[in-house]
Amino acid sequence: MSDQFTPYALVADDDALIRLDAVSILEDAGFRVHEANNVEEALAILDAAPASIQLLFTDVHMPPGARTGFDLARECAEKWPHVGILVASGMAKPRPGDLPDGAVFIQKPFSADVVIEHLQNILPDGRKPERLLKRAT
């Protein structure tokens, strides 16, 4: 797969260390990665390059804003239904209606294996990076 067709992921988390860990996992899986500190930054990135982004990986709580990763996930699913969504938290658990259809929730701390397993399930083959496709075989 040529670089111009390499899919992008967007990692939204206010904690720089956790964001760095998620970015590393996704880059190892074959994604190019955009980073956001909060919901507003994430939405601006999605607005700017919606077709290239195939995955949203978001934390639930991202102070200081009032909007949560659940809000981001729902808005992303509504505006960009092609984007796979993975929501993570060490404190919050989703209640009915928090996650849009097709989104997956994982507990923090997460491992690369857990993230990769969920990516295999939520992304169709045509939207997976080449490295992720090779892991499945």
Cα separation, 44 vs 48, in Å, equals: 6
Using alpha carbons, list the distances in angstroms from residue 69 to 25, 37, 77.
19, 11, 12
Q: What is 22-80 written as a DSSP string?
A: HHHHHHHTT-EEEEESSHHHHHHHHHHSTTTEEEEEEES--TTSS--HHHHHHHHHHH-
pLDDT over 70 (residue 137): no
Residue boundaries of the structural domains of the chain: 3-136
How much is the average pLDDT of 6-30?
95
pLDDT computed for residue 131 by the predictor? 83
Q: Which fold has domain 3-136?
A: Rossmann fold (3.40.50)
pLDDT over 50 (residue 3): no
The closest of 46, 73, 48 to 60, measured between CA atoms, is 73
pTM value? 0.92
Express each pLDDT in 63-122 by its tens digit: 888 899 999 999 999 999 999 999 999 998 999 999 999 999 999 999 999 999 999 989
